[in-house]
Amino acid sequence: MNGYGCLAAYYDRLMTDFDYEGYLSLLDREIEGHEGVDLCCGSGRITTALARRGKKVIGADMSAEMLGEAVKNARAAGVNPLFVQADATTFRPQHSVDFATCVCDGLNYIKPKNLAVFFENAACFLKKGAKFVFDVSSEYKLKKIIGSNVFFEDYDDLTYLWTNTPFAGGVKMELTFFIRGDDGKYTKQTEEHTQYAHKQSAIEEAMTGKFSYKAYDFSTMGVVGSKTTRILWVCERL
Ligand SMILES: C[S@@+](CC[C@H](N)C(=O)[O-])C[C@H]1O[C@@H](n2cnc3c(N)ncnc32)[C@H](O)[C@@H]1O
């Protein structure tokens, strides 16, 4: 199965090390205006939090399973943002909006040859002066930390293995889930993901002429260094 099928049901549980609160504080400081788009919204953590702040936000994602989780999470939080199944390189809201986000690796799923199209598309639906905030797992993280390592989690109802195979432009990831049924028997499911290790320069080149930008090391909000694991950009539509 290709990415975010089986993972969707366990995604929020497995994402304990991502600083959503820190991200939201940054968004609170940076984004202005009422209407926005959360690209590659996944289970909708950011979409829902922005909706709870009174924003009119659309969450767009390719995975029907992740969108299913997003709808459940939003309803549980008492909000009802619009979720749309769409490719982030082509999705456009009906009219121009005030901000966009693409949080936690969404851009690592975009093929290098599609980076320019991704930014051209976002530029088309963002108003002049609109902020676009997004991040990537850095080349350093994908090649040196994830590399060819295997990670695992073991819960009562789930045992999860994450096996990585690097290639020149990124990492192929195989996720294996052993899911415990009510009868105590385990079912095995696998899915594959490909994350691309974009160079900072490639991303900035793809934005040039459409956005002004500033890049940060997400963990320090200081300058990006050779061991930065997550690079965050705060951009403004020109
Ligand atoms: C690591 S998850 C991040 C989800 C969410 N933004 C978060 O912060 O938790 C990456 C998401 O990108 C979505 N995705 C990958 N490629 C996409 C594309 N081309 N268009 C839209 N969504 C995509 C996946 O389905 C997945 O939900």
Ligand 1 within 6 A of CB of 109: yes
Provide the pLDDT for residue 3. 78
Atom number of ligand 1 nearest to Cα 66? 27
Residue type at position 87: D
Is the C-alpha dihedral spanning 27, 29, 32, 34 positive or negative?
A: positive
Widest pairwise Cα distance in the chain: 59
Please work out whether the CB of residue 31 comes within 6 Å of at least one atom of ligand 1: no
Give the confidence band of 216 by pLDDT, cuts at 50, 70, 90: very high
| d(CA 44, ligand 1 centre) in Å | 10
Q: Quick one: average pLDDT of 216-227? A: 97
Closest-CA residue, ligand 1 atom 2, reads 42
For 22-55, how does the pLDDT look when each residue is reduced to its tens digit (9 = 90+)? 999 999 999 999 999 999 999 999 999 999 999 9
**Which of 14, 109, 114 to probe ligand 1 with, by most ligand atoms within 8 A of CB?**
109
Q: How high does pLDDT run on average in the chain? A: 97
The pLDDT, as a whole number, for residue 114 is 98
CATH class given for the domain over 141-196 = mainly beta
Q: Does residue 50 have its Cβ closer than 6 Å to ligand 1?
A: no
Atom 26 in ligand 1: which residue has the minimum CA distance? 42
The domain limits of the chain are 8-137+198-237, 141-196
Query: Measured from the CB, is residue 61 less than 6 Å from ligand 1?
Result: yes
Ligand 1 touching residue 104 (CB < 6 A): yes
Ordered strands of the 35-39 beta sheet = 82-85, 56-61, 35-39, 97-102, 126-137, 230-237, 211-217
Q: Which residues are CB-neighbours of 70 under 8 A, at least 6 positions away?
A: 41, 42, 43, 44, 47, 48, 59, 61, 83
Using the mean position of ligand 1's atoms as its centre, give its distance from the Cα of residue 177 in Å.
19
The answer on pLDDT for 1 being more than 60 is no
φ/ψ (deg, to 5) at 51: -65, -40
Q: Reply yes or no on whether the pLDDT at 112 is more than 90.
A: yes
> In whole angstroms, what is the distance from residue 92 CA to residue 58 CA?
10
157-209 pLDDT tens trace: 999 999 999 999 999 999 999 999 999 999 999 999 999 999 999 999 999 99
The protein residue whose alpha carbon is closest to atom 27 in ligand 1 is 42
| CATH architecture group of domain 8-137+198-237 | 3-Layer(aba) Sandwich (3.40)
What is the helix (H) or strand (E) element at residue 69, kind and residue range? helix 64-76
How distant, in Å, are the alpha carbons of 28, 63, 148 from that of 162?
33, 19, 10
pTM: 0.97
